[in-house]
Amino acid sequence: AIVSSLTAQMVKFSSSSGSTLQANQTDPYNLGLIEVTSGVRFKPSPTGAPALTIRPYLVAAGLVAQGHRYLSNHGAGLDAAYSLNDRTFIDGGFEYRYNDYATRIDVPAADELSGPSNLLRVRLTRELAPGHVLSGELRTRWQRTKRSYLDHDAQEVRVTYVRSYASPLKS
């Protein structure tokens, strides 16, 4: 199956300075974000590993601030998912993006932030009982820039418990 996503977000401040860029800007920025991913999800071995699916994909995104390009990126990723049993699921993936920051008067050194960004993640999800789900996720991200002192590495551990309730509205 072709699996695609589109994310768009707009943030508009009434105290924004409009579309004019200026050095040392103090007014808030109006922001616009758009991101598109698309790839083919399939079972690489329907008979040998029927519970395994993978999805290689392409990604592209852009961020504008005050109506002018601030950041764009593009890259590729690979998602994998495996159902261990009816109630336990493991998924993960790797994503590579190249971030390209625009040179602007309001952020003169932004271009130095340009460079590759990588994300590696794995998540284990278990349904404890109907309506009760527990998941744990590990993530690591490393981003390189044109200046090594601006490089960034991060690790995250997330634990999530979800409790679902029946709708109080009866149809």
Percentage of the chain beyond pLDDT 90 is 67
In a domain, 43, yes or no: yes
How many domains does the chain divide into? 1
pLDDT of residue 16: 66
In a domain, 23, yes or no: no
For 99, the token pair is 């971030």
User: Per-residue pLDDT for 32 more than 90?
Assistant: yes
- What mean pLDDT comes out for the span 150-159? 96
User: What would the pLDDT profile of 79-90 be if each residue is shown by its tens digit?
Assistant: 999 999 999 999
Mind giving me the DSSP string for 91-120? EEEEEEEEEEEPP-SSSTTGGGG-EEEEEE
pLDDT of residue 10: 93
Q: How much is the pTM? A: 0.83
User: What would the pLDDT profile of 138-150 be if each residue is shown by its tens digit?
Assistant: 999 999 999 999 8
pLDDT of residue 73: 95
The widest CA-to-CA distance across the chain, in whole angstroms, is: 61
In a domain, 61, yes or no: yes
In a domain, 148, yes or no: yes
Model confidence at 99, pLDDT cuts 50, 70, 90, reads: very high
Least confident of 25-39, 48-62, 117-131: 25-39
Say if CB 153 and CB 145 are below 8 A apart: no
> Residue 53: which domain range?
2-18+33-163
Say if CB 116 and CB 85 are below 8 A apart: no
pLDDT of residue 18: 67
In a domain, 128, yes or no: yes
User: Per-residue pLDDT for 17 more than 70?
Assistant: no
In a domain, 25, yes or no: no
User: Per-residue pLDDT for 154 more than 70?
Assistant: yes
In a domain, 168, yes or no: no
Percentage of the chain beyond pLDDT 70 is 96
